[in-house]
Amino acid sequence: MSLDTARMVQMANAIRALSMDAVQAANSGHPGMPMGMADVATVLWSEYLKHDPKAPGWSDRDRFVLSAGHGSMLIYSLLHLAGYDRPTMEDIRNFRQIESPCAGHPENFLLDGVESTTGPLGQGLAMAVGMAMAERHLNATFGDEIVDHRTWVIAGDGCLMEGINHEAIGLAGHLKLGRMVVFWDDNNITIDGSTELSTSENIKARYEATGWHVVSCDGHDFDDIRRAIDEAVADDRPSLVACKTVIGKGAPNKQGTSATHGAPLGDEEISAARAVLGWDAKPFEIPEQVLSDWRGTAERGKKAHADWQDRLGQSGRRAEFERRMAGELPEGFSLDGYIQALIEEPQKVATRKASEMALAEINTKLPETIGGSADLTGSNNTKAGGIGPFTADDYSGRYVYYGIREFGMAAAMNGMALHGGVIPYGGTFLVFTDYCRAAIRLSALQQVRVVYVMTHDSIGLGEDGPTHQPVEHVQSLRMMPNLLVMRPADAVETAECWDIALRQPDRPTVLALSRQNLPQMRTHQLSENMTQYGGYRLKASQAPRRVILVATGSELHVAMECAERLEESGIGADVVSMVCTQLFDEQDDAYRSDILPDVSPDEILRVSIEAGTTFGWDRYTMTHGLRIGIDRFGASAPAGDLFDKFGLTADAIVPQIMNKLNG
C-alpha cells in the first residue's frame, strides 16, 4: 500500500536534502547520484525492500547493495530515515570526518545495513551476484520457509562500464538468478562529462544478450517505478531496471550535468534547490511528518521478520541454520585424523593435489563450503569430496563453474561470504591474482572468510612461461593488510593451512600451491598445527648453529637439502618453514627471537629461499643475510630446467652460503 504521492515526494526530498547538506558540510562528496536516485530508492525501500531496521542482521532480510558507492549519502539517508540505530543525525553531520561511520564510501564494517563495502566500481554488483547465489543455495538447502529473499542493487554507468560487469552479469544470467534486480541509474553522466564521450553501447541490448530481463522506467515517476519493479519481480531471470534519471535532480542550475557528480553544490545552489523542492527544513532537520512516514514503512518488515521467527522456531533445521549463519564450524570439526594418516603414510604430491585431498575431507565434513574454479578445475584441483555442480537447475550444488571470470569469481565469493551461511573457496592460477586483485583487497577490507586456491605458484609451472609464472605475486600479496598468504611445503602443511583458513571468520586467505610434486617434509607427528605460528623450526641444527635457512613451499625441500650438505661440512643449520609471514609476525617476541635470533650474521647467517622476488625478504634474513630468489621474469621450459637456470637448487645455493660464511 502506497502513501500518496505528495508525501512520497517529500520522503524522497529528505534524501536529497540530507545529501546536499552533508556533502556541503564535508566540503567533499557526491550529491548527484543520491539526488537522482532518491525517487527510485524511496519506492524500493518503503514498498519492496524486506528488512527490519531494528534487526539489521536478520538472516532472511533482502540484501541491498549500493554498487555506485560514491553516492554513499543515499544509503546513509535511507538507513537513518528508515529507523536504523545508526547512522544518527550526528553521524550524518560528520559525514567524511574522522571516526564517523558515515565514511566517504559505505563500509560494511562501520554500519549495520551496509551489506558490502562499495566504491571500487562494478564490484558491488558483482558481489550482489554472490549474495544471490548464496541465497538460492541456502533456499535449496533450508526451504522457502527459512530462506527466501531478494538482492537489490543500485548501479551507475561506471559499474556497467567496468569489465567486471560483463563477468558478473554473465554468471548471473547463466545461473538464472531471478531474485536479483539491478537498478541502473541511467543519467548519461560520468565524471568526465556526458557518457557520449566514451561509450556508444546499447546497454539494454547487452543485458538481454546475456540472459537478463530488461525493463525501463522514468526514475522520477513513482508509479512507473512500481510498474518496473513489479515486472522485474515477476520475471524469472535477473532483471535490469533502466531508470531514466536526472543527475542532481532538484538542483535547478546544475542538475543533469557532471557538476553535480562529485562536488558540493554550493550554498547558493542548495538554497535554490530547497526552493524548487519545497523543502523548508533546516539542514539536518527532517520534518516530523516526513520522518513519521519513513519510520512507518518499517512495519512491513517488522511483521515479516516476526512471521519468519515463528517459522524458524518450528523448523527442525533451526540449529543447523543458525550455526551456518553464525559462521561457526561444526563442533569437533578437525583434520587431525587426516593429518595423522599422512604422517603414517607420507605422500609425495603437488600441494594443489594435497589441497584436493584436504578438500575431500573438508567438503565431506562441512556442508557450508561452496567451491569453484575460473575454468581450471582440473588444474586447481578444487572439485573434491563428491560435491556436485551449482546450476540454474540445481542450486543445492556446491561446485561453481565460474567460467573464465577470475574477477567475477572473486567478487561473487565476497558476496557469498558477506551474505553468510556459506564458506566460499575458488581457484585459478596464482599469476591471475592480478586479474582479481581488486576483489582480494575487498575480501581483506571487508573482513570476510574467502579462501583463494591459487595454484601453479612459481616457475615450477614450467612450460607455460613468464605470462603464467608468478614472480612478484606471493610477496606483493603479503603486504596487503588483513590477508593471510600461505605457501605450504607439503601435504601436511597444506592441510594445516586449510584448517587455519577455515577458522578465520574475519579474514581471507590466499593459498599458494605448487603444480609440481613435492616430497612430504613433515613425517613425524608434532603436537599441534605448526602452521599456526606462521614460521616454525622444521629442523634444528646438529653441529653448532651457523646458519638458519628460511624457506617456503616448494623450496622447503631445497633448504633441507642445503642444510644436510652444510651439516656434512660441520656447519650447523636450522631450517625454518615460513608458511605464512603474517602469522609469524603476529607471534610474540619470545617466539620470534627463538626461531630467528637477532644476532650478527658473523654468528648466524640467515638465508631465505623462495622461487620469487627477493624484495622484502630482508625482513627475515636481516640486511647482511642471503636472499635466494628470482628478480626477473621467468621463462618457458620444463620446471626442472628452470630451477637449474634460476639457481634454485642446493648445488647452486650451498656454495653461496659457504662463500658468505667465509667472506
Give catalytic residues, as residue numbers: 406
DSSP, res 484: E
Task: Give the CB-side neighbour count of residue 96, counting CA atoms within 13 A.
Answer: 18
* φ/ψ (deg, to 5) at 271: -60, -45
Buried b / exposed e along 250-261 (16+ C-beta atoms within 10 A): bbebbbbbbbbb
Helix (H) or strand (E) segment spanning residue 417: helix 406-419
Specify whether the CB–CB gap between 595 and 537 falls below 8 A. yes
- Rg (alpha carbons) of the chain, rounded to whole number: 28
Q: Is 587 a binder of a second copy (CB under 8 A)?
A: no
The distance of closest approach from Cβ of residue 461 to a second copy in the complex, given in angstroms and rounded to an integer, is 9
**Shortest Cβ distance from residue 401 to a second copy (Å)?**
4
Q: What is the closest distance, in whole angstroms, from the C-beta atom of residue 239 to a second copy in the complex?
A: 16
60-89 positions binding a second copy, by CB under 8 A: 69-70
Please say which residue, 260 or 520, places its beta carbon nearer to a second copy: 260
Angle, CA of 63, 69 and 75, to the nearest 5°: 55
No. of helices (H) and no. of strands (E), the chain: 27, 20
Question: Residue 20 half-sphere exposure, CB side, CA atoms within 13 Å?
Answer: 33
- Output 157 or 356, the one with its CB closest to a second copy: 157
Q: Whose CA is closest to 507, among 446, 454, 452, 453?
A: 446
Own/partner pairs for 597-601, CB < 8 Å, 24+ apart?
A: 598/622, 600/624, 601/625, 601/660
Q: 204 to 223, contacts with a second copy by CB under 8 A?
A: 204-206, 208-211
What is the distance between the alpha carbons of residues 472 and 179, in angstroms, rounded to a whole number?
A: 41
d(CA 24, CA 1) in angstroms, rounded, equals 35
Binding to a second copy (CB under 8 A) within 426-465 occurs at 431-432, 434-435, 437-438, 441-442, 444-445, 462-465
State the nearest-atom distance from the C-beta of 80 to a second copy, in Å: 17
Helix ranges (DSSP H) in 243-376: 267-277, 288-296, 298-314, 318-326, 336-344, 351-365
Residues in region 393-432 near a second copy by CB under 8 A: 401-405, 407-408, 431-432
198 touching a second copy, by CB under 8 A: yes
Can you tell me which of 216, 257, 347, 377 binds a second copy, judged by CB under 8 A?
377
Which amino acid, 218?
D
How many residues bind a second copy, per CB under 8 A? Answer: 108
Q: Which of 379, 517, 532, 542 contacts a second copy by CB under 8 A?
A: 379
Peptide bond into 424 cis (omega under 30): no
Q: Is the Cβ of residue 45 or residue 425 nearer to a second copy in the bound state? A: 425
Q: Which is nearer to a second copy, 39 or 91 (CB)?
A: 91
Q: How far is the CB of 91 from a second copy (least distance, A)?
A: 12
Annotate each residue in 19-48 with x if it binds a second copy (CB under 8 A) or - if it does not, as one string: -------x-xx-------------------
337 versus 378: smaller Cβ distance to a second copy: 378
504 lies in the binding site for a second copy (CB under 8 A): no
Angle between helices 267-277 and 5-26 (to 10 degrees): 170
Q: Is residue 125 at the binding interface for a second copy, with CB under 8 A as the rule?
A: no
In angstroms, give the least distance from the CB of 482 to a second copy. 7
Site string for a second copy, 281-310 (x = CB under 8 A): ------------------------------
Instruction: Count Cβ neighbours within 10 Å for each residue of 175-214 and write b for 16 or more, e otherwise.
Output: bbbbbbbbbbbbbbbbeeeebeeeeeeebbebbeebbbbb
Q: Of 262 and 572, which has the nearer Cβ to a second copy?
A: 262
Q: Which of 517, 587, 636, 656 binds a second copy (CB under 8 A)?
A: 636
| C-beta closer to a second copy: residue 60 or 157 | 157
Cell 607439503 maps to which residue? 490
Compare residues 469 and 541 and give the one whose CB is closer to a second copy.
Answer: 469
User: Shortest distance, CB of residue 107 to a second copy, whole angstroms?
Assistant: 7
**Judged by CB, which is closer to a second copy: 53, or 122?**
122
* Touching a second copy, residues 173-192 (CB under 8 A): 173-174, 190-192
We find the least distance from the C-beta atom of residue 421 to a second copy, in angstroms, to be 24
Q: For a second copy, give the closer residue by CB, 332 or 481.
A: 481
Q: Which of residues 512-571 bind a second copy (CB under 8 A)?
A: none
Q: Which of 12, 17, 18, 164 binds a second copy (CB under 8 A)?
A: 164
Which residues face 451 on adjacent strands? 425, 509
The whole-angstrom separation of Cα 586 and Cα 613 is 23
As measured in angstroms, the least distance from the Cβ of 321 to a second copy is 30
Residue 209's contacts (CB-CB under 8 Å, 6 or more residues apart) are none
Min CB(258)–a second copy separation in Å: 9
Of residues 471, 487, 486, the one with CA closest to residue 614: 471
Q: Is 121 in the site for a second copy (CB under 8 A)?
A: yes
Task: List all residues 6 or more positions away from 416 whose beta carbon is below 8 Å from its beta carbon.
Answer: 130, 131, 133, 134, 370, 422, 424, 450
Residue 201 or 299: the one with the smaller Cβ distance to a second copy is: 201
By CB under 8 A, name the one of 239, 297, 351, 476 that touches a second copy: 476
- Span of 276-284, 328-336, 341-349, 630-638 interacting with a second copy by CB under 8 A: 630-638
DSSP tag of 461: G
Stretch binding a second copy (CB under 8 A), from 350-358, 448-456, 466-474, 654-662: 466-474
Piece of 131-139, 308-316, 632-640, 649-657 that binds a second copy (CB under 8 A): 632-640
- What DSSP string describes 159-214? HHHSHHHHHHHHHHHHTT-TTEEEEEEE-SEETTEEGGGT----HHHHHHHTT-EE
Selected from 347, 482, 504, 649, the binder of a second copy by CB under 8 A is 482
Q: Check binding of 471 to a second copy (CB under 8 A).
A: yes
Q: Does 322 bind a second copy (CB under 8 A)?
A: no
The contact pattern for a second copy, residues 91-120, with x = CB under 8 A and - = no contact, is -----xxxxx--xxx-x---------xxxx
Cβ proximity of 387 and 356 under 8 Å: no
Residues 595-624 that bind a second copy (CB under 8 A): 598, 613, 615-616, 618-619, 622-623
Amino acid identity, residue 568? E
